[in-house]
Structure 1
Amino acid sequence: MVERRADDRIIHSRWFNLEKPVAVDVDQLKKDKFSSRLHLRVCLDGGYHVLDESTHYSSDLRPTAKQLWKPPIGILELGILNAVGLHPMKTRDGKGTSDTYCVAKYGHKWVRTRTIVDNLFPKYNEQYTWEVFDPATVLTVGVFDNSQLGDKGANGNKDLKIGKVRVRISTLETGRVYTHSYPLLVLHPTGVKKMGEVHLALRFSCTSFANMLYIYSRPLLPKMHYIRPFTVMQLDMLRHQAVNIVATRLGRAEPPLRKEVVEYMSDVDSHLWSMRRSKANFFRLMSVFTGLFAVGKWFGDICMWKNPVTTVLVHVLYLMLVSFPELILPTIFLYMFLIGVWNFRYRPRYPPHMNTKISQAEAVHPDELDEEFDTFPTSRNLVRMRYDRLRSVAGRIQTVVGDIATQGERVHSLLSWRDPRATAIFVTFCLVAALVLYVTPFQVIAALAGIFMMRHPRFRYRVPSVPVNFFRRLPARTDSML
């Protein structure tokens, strides 16, 4: 019996017998014969969450052990209404057609609609619900062509992908019904193609608003990920195994989901090198610093006296801040509060969809697409070893650049109302901070901040702080990446 644990307590080692079945007689059953013993420390860790999808599009962040699960904070309702203008995926009786079905994934629950045969404008009209435990999760809906019907095409028996949509739960306003058509975009070796549109209805209902706000202060992953963290290699290996297990389990379901469907929904190749993704991450990073570059250009114009009135006002403001340094922080927080209130009018009305411009898929070079769709390890014999090594290293660099861009985009989302609850919390915090800092001497704030930063390790926690947890839950533009 293997011991189970949900925390970091020490597991005592045990002796395990190695037994080898030996046939005694052809007419008798095999019996176990003692061979040797091994001294092992083995346990089933339930305090971790094994990711079976990309960390940017995670739909579930709960630990494996059910006793550690918190109560749900809301209900997500999805209505898959219909699809329009689908691209023909096969030929039947001399005309192009498709046999399509939809797959939705959120958490442990995968759902599949019925297959609509021989229709480029299918109507599904099916509704599903999920319990939501964390708003910083993503619902994925994919549309596929059923290749199990009729004659085998050029792609064999594999179900063909038509496109998918990702919706981050935190971008949905509580109680509002979203009915919107999302474009189905797929990247092919010949370029990006719009395969049609899918019409979805979404509603996120909150059961406890206080619990949902409290979630924003909690660590994103279970506690064990911070106390005894996995290495990057272990995470990659576990994710690969988890995807295979999920694909095997869903392949036995009724109706079954094929492995290529599970891999496409789980983005198994998101970590591989792609020149297109690297360019997209680079331009995302540049857009993060656009505001900083604009401030630098504005300050250069101030120094050059291109607008004398503005330059004089800046000089007056600078002298005021130098004379009264205690006004610096409250002024900054009040300024961010006003920006957040101003941006409320321009908040997104619908969840974002796949964006070809952000993904750098509109004018991608054919050679770059050929490299992106190449298998790993490569199927080409030319300098195979060096090429694979370069792709492996470059894939990690690409991921790091994307992570940096994600952090910058989260800073931008503080005041953009993309996550209405997070922006409301931050705007309220800015207002309260401005009021507190206006009435509190600057020296007191500086002293308290210094003492807090240099506090004794006994007063520190091994899990991330509340501001870090809040920041990690902010949405980024990764949801719009192909």
Structure 2
Amino acid sequence: MYPSSSQEPVDCTLKEISPYLGRGQVVGSHVVRLADKPASDRVEQMQYLFVRVVKAREVPAMEEIPGSLDPFVEVRVGKYRARTEPFEKQRQDPVWNEVLTFSRDQIRSKVIEVVVKDKVYDNDDEPVGIIRFDLNGIPIRIPPEDPLAPEWHRLEDKQTGEKTKGELMLAVWMGTRADEASDDAWDSDAAAALVDGSMAAYIRPQVYFSPSLWYVRVEIIQAEDLVVAEKSRSPKICVKAHIGHQGLKTKVVHAPEFNPLWNEDLLFVAAEPFEDHLILSVEDFEGPNRVEVIGWVVIPLSSIEKRVDNRVIAKRRYQVEKPAAAVDVDQWKEEEEVPGSLLLRLCLEGGYHVLDESPHYSSDLRPTAKELWNPPIGVLELGILRAEGLHPMKTRDGRGTSDAFCVARYGHEWVRTRTIVNSLTPKFDEHHTWAVYDPATVLTVGLFDNRQLGSSNTTSNNNDMKIGKVRIRLSTLEPGRLYTKSYPLLVLHPSGVKKMGELLLAIKFSCTSLVNMMYLYTRPLLPMMHYIRPLTLVQQDVLRYRAVKIVAARLRLFTVGKWFGDVCTWKNPVTTVLVHVLFVMLMYLNQLILPLLLLYMSLLGIWNYRYRPHYPPHMDTRISYAEVAHPDELDEEFDTLPTTKSTDLVRMRYDRLRSVAGRIQTVVGDVATQGERVLAFLSWRDPVATAIFVIFCIVSALVLLVIPYQVIIVVVGFYKMRHPWFRQRQPSVLLSFFRRLLSKIDNML
């Protein structure tokens, strides 16, 4: 199935290609005009034969079965054939309205035959009727010309050529993939590969839209007047929350007065339209393996209030019921006995961006609420041309082959190309466009092998197989330039890196406003709510889809940094004011810096004299965490070499070691990423970012020549130590710019 291992080096370089797009051939990102014809997007100028079969009338029935006819239309071009769906209700006036296509490379005959046949009496020698076309007389249609109108054609007898009863409405023309009829067309190979019509979605091109995802914030504050089975003991209460398959629970608290207090935030993910319900169950832990469900609360997600900022949501009481019900406590009848109520604060968070892809390769950074979206800054155009040199992914008729299709994702829109059947050099020739809201996003294009063909089973056992994928960061594209590249498809196998083929793409990023795009480099990468009310690491793990990284939090490991942070946040106003005065003195009396530093260290030593140790140093178990060591860790420490433990125990310890090594590797990768971003300042891998940095350096040099450096340092220091009233809860401009810089993580498998 996969290529055998080889010691030959893998060619991983990008190659420039020169396809024929639009008005001519692309050479070095420029189009050399060959003819004065309208441009046809980003697809190659390859001709296809289009046959639109609309309908038929007065089609004669076969004599062997009087009055019976299950008609379909078959188009023959040499040895290639394509057919429409048959009607099985004995209709003599069927309506198909289907388009069949043939590649110009497949056409080896000058005659095109359109044959009307009967499914019951399917015989090539005795069709119901036939229509013949001369290939030289077929018109050529170039978009955006008006569609070719279909016409009625009289059926002929195949043997005698005489006109017979029955007519067929057809339109036949030559065109390209830019034709709007191409989206609904059946390729000749694809039409022959179908088992039944229900599998059409696995062949034709499709466009999918990701659902609008929302965070559901459930703040469980308190329960009141709970009724438990055993009132003589102090209950242990927790609340379990479920939305679909997502489940979370609060901590277990003792409630001697039957009014447990939690004040916990639980976060879920929900998709519009909101069909699920929030289900809360209040449970009492009576003992080991004994849990009493006190009651339930069921709240429709569509009834929960939405918010797009950090405003406070009003609390509400919800009645705990058996069976589950969501009723406002104010509407409850006082005379009926109730098992208690829950005090909750619920909202749908629209100010966050719900990450449903890797944060390093995100294709969309907009918040969920559409009212917070900014206008687009440009347009991304993608031409999926073809693939070359694919390795066989299956065997058919004794030879290796592949049924390839592409999937491209950017933003909320997924596009899937048509499946090219039985080809290791598939030609897609499809053009797609997306609106761009942020250049710090990534376009992902994947190539797959269709496993649905040749089998009516569409279960998970026939999942499509990934051949390879390509990631393209938009900030690396020069605005307005057309890139035509051949991207190697690299995958990692146990035997090493394998090249599964090459994918040929045409890409163009057009910017509507360069000023607006440069302004984005000073804005935070994520929406404001990620900084006003950031998600904790625990919440990110529970939501599973998210992975938010804050680089600055990893740097708060030094005592000096923590002290300076307290000064900047005015935790102790007297200390901060003294630091301001000392800062100004040091800038204008810089000859006192070294004496004052030595004096400060001496005073610090005198101050710490009263805290001097009175005993000689000894082993501290807290330093080595010996007091909190797990028994298995101690057992592993004293194990012999080679081990004497069981295989399962050694495997568990090995998995634990792999987990620790993975976390270390992640930290090392983060450090390397920051270094690579520093190197990206002047590398021109991100043309806009480098241009901004160069302009900043020039302006800074001119400012430093005019203004004394002491003034600049004082201004920067005062700005850094400004009062929290003048601070915004968002990353600084420099940090936002730094986070948008490129790293080599885009080039990793």
The interval holding the TM-score normalised by the smaller chain is 0.5 to 0.7
C-alpha displacement of 1:407: 1.1
Counterpart in the other structure of 1:400: 667
Q: How does 1:181-200 map to 2 (within 5 A)?
A: 181-200=486-505
Distance (whole Å) between structure 2 residues aligned to residue 205 and residue 456 of structure 1: 42
Counterpart in the other structure of 1:105: 409
The one of 311, 319, 326 aligned to 1:17: 319
Q: What SS does the corresponding residue of 1:426 show, helix, strand or coil?
A: helix
Counterpart in the other structure of 2:748: 481
% identity of equivalent residues: 68
C-alpha displacement of 1:176: 0.4
Counterpart in the other structure of 2:562: none
The one of 177, 182, 185 aligned to 2:482: 177
**Unpaired runs of at least 5, structure 2:** 1-302, 325-336, 550-589, 591-646
Counterpart in the other structure of 2:698: 431
Q: Which residue identity lines up with residue 371 of structure 2 in the other structure? A: Q
Q: How does 1:1-150 map to 2 (within 5 A)?
A: 1-19=303-321, 37-150=341-454
Matched, 1:161 2:457: no
Q: Which residue identity lines up with residue 451 of structure 2 in the other structure? A: S
Distance (whole Å) between structure 1 residues aligned to residue 536 and residue 671 of structure 2: 19
Q: Closer, same or farther in 2 for the Cα pair 1:20/1:118, shift >3 Å?
A: farther
Counterpart in the other structure of 1:441: 708
Q: What SS does the corresponding residue of 2:487 show, helix, strand or coil?
A: strand
Q: How does 1:188-267 map to 2 (within 5 A)?
A: 188-240=493-545
Q: What SS does the corresponding residue of 1:422 show, helix, strand or coil?
A: helix
Q: Which residue identity lines up with residue 15 of structure 1 in the other structure? A: R
C-alpha displacement of 1:150: 2.5
Greater RCO between the two (CA within 8 Å, min separation 6)?
Answer: 1
Aligned residues of 1:136 and 1:169 also touching (Cα < 8 A): yes
Q: What SS does the corresponding residue of 1:121 show, helix, strand or coil?
A: coil
Q: What SS does the corresponding residue of 2:684 show, helix, strand or coil?
A: coil
C-alpha displacement of 1:480: 0.5
Counterpart in the other structure of 2:735: 468
C-alpha displacement of 1:441: 1.5
Counterpart in the other structure of 2:654: 387
Aligned residues of 1:51 and 1:238 also touching (Cα < 8 A): no
Residues 74-105 of structure 1: CA deviation (Å, up to 9, x unaligned): 11111100000001001111110001110101
C-alpha displacement of 1:443: 2.0
Q: Which residue identity lines up with residue 680 of structure 2 in the other structure? A: S
Residues 241-295 of structure 1: CA deviation (Å, up to 9, x unaligned): x8xxxxxxxxxxxxxxxxxxxxxxxxx9xx9xxxxxxxxxxxxxxxxxxxxxxxx
Q: Which residue identity lines up with residue 10 of structure 1 in the other structure? A: V
Q: Closer, same or farther in 2 for the Cα pair 1:34/1:119, shift >3 Å?
A: farther
Distance (whole Å) between structure 2 residues aligned to residue 236 and residue 403 of structure 1: 19
C-alpha displacement of 1:187: 0.9
Q: What SS does the corresponding residue of 2:741 show, helix, strand or coil?
A: coil
Aligned residues of 1:50 and 1:238 also touching (Cα < 8 A): no
Q: Which residue identity lines up with residue 392 of structure 2 in the other structure? A: P
Q: Closer, same or farther in 2 for the Cα pair 1:381/1:453, shift >3 Å?
A: same
Q: Closer, same or farther in 2 for the Cα pair 1:210/1:384, shift >3 Å?
A: same
**Unpaired runs of at least 5, structure 1:** 23-32, 243-267, 272-324, 326-379
Q: Which residue identity lines up with residue 137 of structure 1 in the other structure? A: T
Q: What SS does the corresponding residue of 2:462 show, helix, strand or coil?
A: coil
Residues 387-418 of structure 1: CA deviation (Å, up to 9, x unaligned): 33333333222222111111111111110001
Q: Which residue identity lines up with residue 213 of structure 1 in the other structure? A: M
Matched, 1:420 2:722: no
Residues 11-35 of structure 1: CA deviation (Å, up to 9, x unaligned): 122122345569xxxxxxxxxx987
Counterpart in the other structure of 2:166: none
Q: Closer, same or farther in 2 for the Cα pair 1:98/1:20, shift >3 Å?
A: farther
Distance (whole Å) between structure 2 residues aligned to residue 119 and residue 432 of structure 1: 57
Counterpart in the other structure of 1:410: 677
RMSD, matched Cα: 2.4
Aligned residues of 1:137 and 1:170 also touching (Cα < 8 A): yes
Q: Closer, same or farther in 2 for the Cα pair 1:382/1:147, shift >3 Å?
A: farther
C-alpha displacement of 1:436: 1.2
TM-score by length of 1: 0.66
Q: Report how many residues are paired.
A: 336
Q: Which residue identity lines up with residue 404 of structure 2 in the other structure? A: T
Aligned residues of 1:51 and 1:239 also touching (Cα < 8 A): no
Moved over 4 A (4+): 18-22, 33-36
C-alpha displacement of 1:204: 0.4
Residues 359-396 of structure 1: CA deviation (Å, up to 9, x unaligned): xxxxxxxxxxxxxxxxxxxxx94534333333333322
Q: Which residue identity lines up with residue 705 of structure 2 in the other structure? A: Y
Q: What SS does the corresponding residue of 2:662 show, helix, strand or coil?
A: helix
Q: Which residue identity lines up with residue 83 of structure 1 in the other structure? A: A
C-alpha displacement of 1:106: 0.9
Q: Which residue identity lines up with residue 207 of structure 1 in the other structure? A: T
Residues 296-328 of structure 1: CA deviation (Å, up to 9, x unaligned): xxxxxxxxxxxxxxxxxxxxxxxxxxxxx9xxx
C-alpha displacement of 1:148: 1.3
Distance (whole Å) between structure 1 residues aligned to residue 650 and residue 504 of structure 2: 46
Q: Which residue identity lines up with residue 49 of structure 1 in the other structure? A: H
TM-score by length of 2: 0.43
Distance (whole Å) between structure 2 residues aligned to residue 479 and residue 216 of structure 1: 19
Matched, 1:458 2:701: no
C-alpha displacement of 1:203: 0.5
Q: Rg larger in 1 or in 2?
A: 2
C-alpha displacement of 1:206: 0.8
Greater helix content: 1
